[in-house]
Amino acid sequence: MDYFLSEEEKMMVETAKEVAITKMKPVREEYDEKEEFPWDIQKEFAQAGLCGCYIPEEYGGFGKGIMGLVLVVEELCKVDGGAALCLAATALGTLPILISGNDEQKKKYLPSIADGTNLAAFGLTEASAGSDATGMATTAVKDGDYYILNGTKCFITNGGEAQTYTIFAKTNPSRGARGISCFIVEKGTPGFEFGKKEKKMGIRASATRELIFNNCKIHKDQLLSKEGHGLMVAQATLDNSRPGVAAQALGIAAGALDEAVDYARKRVQFGQPIASFQGIQHMLADMATQVEAARALLYSVARAIDAKTSKRTSKESAMAKLFCSETAMKVTTDAVQILGGYGYSREYPVEKMMRDAKITTLYEGTSQIQKNEIALNLIKESAAKNS
Ligand SMILES: Cc1cc2nc3c(=O)[nH]c(=O)nc-3n(C[C@H](O)[C@H](O)[C@H](O)COP(=O)(O)OP(=O)(O)OC[C@H]3O[C@@H](n4cnc5c(N)ncnc54)[C@H](O)[C@@H]3O)c2cc1C
């Protein structure tokens, strides 16, 4: 289908495709197997100019917004949904600065993220605060011109590898959701250490690690937005970043569909290619329809975010993430089915795609949390219309 991409967008897609096929594909199994962070791949992203696709030109980026991010992430994830995360999770860690940072903070951090020399990470989750971020225990206590951070974040993508961290902590625990603030914390700040590294089902090339703050002293200039506005920063970030997860899911699904069609054409059973069996054809038709529907929804949500036609896009972003991630699970599971026993073998990429797809239904809010967000907005809209 033609989505009427601009010439610049088409060029970005072509560049991402080239990097994915020539640089990522030959090493994707190796990185997955070794559970190693793909610095070589990150350098390729940087060299190709992909890291700044969503960052405004005035800060050294390509200025292509959320649509730019979606297009690049989709293309990279068609080949490897794990290694691509060094770029995608950096976007998640960068968006709080992009959305809520002042000009000085933007000038300080965005250019090195745009040129790919610096990675970022987003630190919201804690052991007792997953879906309910307000349950966080990390505190930031004001001390003159400084804040003192104490607490532990878990499951942080790019943890240990990134230089720049956007961290959420309670500055006023008695105020609940309004007592949370967001800070930029740099790797190497005394009192900021890295803890346990997760061993995961999928996206194994991505680092997922604990961040430990032990009397970590940071200057008040590192506060993003205002004290107490942290949860709003997180929500606005997720409205913009969930399409990135949706793009990861879409890319994985599209990659698995390509593998399944190719295999079905070549695999002969009962004297004919399995692609000639209607049972297989119908599975492929359903997979292709789901992938295209996911793409159409995601692209229109990304365009709407970039057009800034409405103040919030929480419902639409949640819909895109929900639909694309659930599609990725269905399509990758069917791809494994079409490859039969070989689909279950590590010799073929679809088992990795199925493992990698699962995370997209979990992080940045599980599918249940996306449904809560969609329903809450529907009810609010109806109340506003009918009041
Ligand atoms: C590989 C990986 C990378 C991650 N990267 C990051 C990162 O970079 N930064 C970061 O901050 N976090 C990150 N996370 C954390 C991730 O966002 C959380 O795991 C996720 O939000 C879910 O939280 P939880 O695991 O505590 O599950 P829980 O919140 O304990 O949920 C458990 C189950 O209960 C359901 N549930 C919870 N509340 C409700 C409700 N109100 N209604 C219906 N069902 C509900 C959930 O859907 C889920 O099925 C990452 C996680 C993983 C696994």
CATH number at residue 52: 1.10.540.10
What per-residue confidence (pLDDT) applies to 122? 98
Same-domain status, 210 and 72 = no
Closest Cα to residue 327, out of 258, 380, 254, 269? 254
Tell me how far apart the alpha carbons of residues 149 and 159 are, in angstroms, rounded to a whole number: 17
The phi-psi region of residue 60 (left if phi > 0; otherwise alpha if psi is between -120 and 50; otherwise beta) is left
- Closest atom of ligand 1 to 124 CA is 11
pLDDT along the chain (387 residues), means of 10: 96 98 98 97 98 98 98 98 98 98 98 98 98 98 98 98 98 96 98 98 98 98 98 98 98 98 98 98 98 98 93 94 98 98 98 98 98 97 93
Is 236 found in the same domain as 369?
yes
Residue 347 domain-assigned (yes or no): yes
* Residues 114 and 181 grouped into a single domain: no
Q: Are 296 and 1 in contact (CB under 8 A)?
A: yes
> How many domains, in total, are found in the chain?
3
> Is 83 inside a domain boundary?
yes
Residue whose Cα lies nearest atom 37 of ligand 1: it is 131
Would you say the CB of residue 136 lies under 6 angstroms from ligand 1?
Answer: no
> Is there a single domain that holds both residue 277 and residue 156?
no
**pTM of the entire predicted model:** 0.98
286 in a structural domain? yes
pLDDT at residue number 309: 83
- Residues 353, 277 within the same domain: yes
Instruction: Please confirm, yes or no, whether 351 is among the known catalytic residues.
Output: no
Asked which of 90, 119, 148 is the last residue of a domain, the reply is 119
Of the residues 228, 243, 270, which one is the last residue of a structural domain?
A: 228
> Is 2 within a domain?
no
Q: Is 208 in the pocket of ligand 1 (CB under 6 A)?
A: yes
Long-range Cβ pairs for the range 368-371 (8 Å, 24+): 368/131, 369/131, 370/242, 370/318, 370/319, 370/321, 370/322, 371/318, 371/322
Do 314 and 341 fall into the same domain? yes
Could you tell me if residue 1 is inside a domain? no
**pLDDT the model gives residue 121:** 98
Ligand 1 pocket mutation pick from 37, 86, 90, 155 by most atoms within 8 angstroms of CB: 155
Single out the residue in 85, 119, 153 at which a domain terminates.
119
Domain extent for 73 = 7-119
Give me the sign of the Cα torsion angle 200, 204, 206, 212: positive
Ligand 1 and 343: CB distance under 6 A: no
| 377 and 235 fall within a common domain | yes
Identify the pLDDT of residue 312: 85
62 & 105 share domain: yes
Q: Which of 210, 227, 364, 373 is catalytic?
A: 364
Q: What is the pLDDT of residue 311?
A: 78
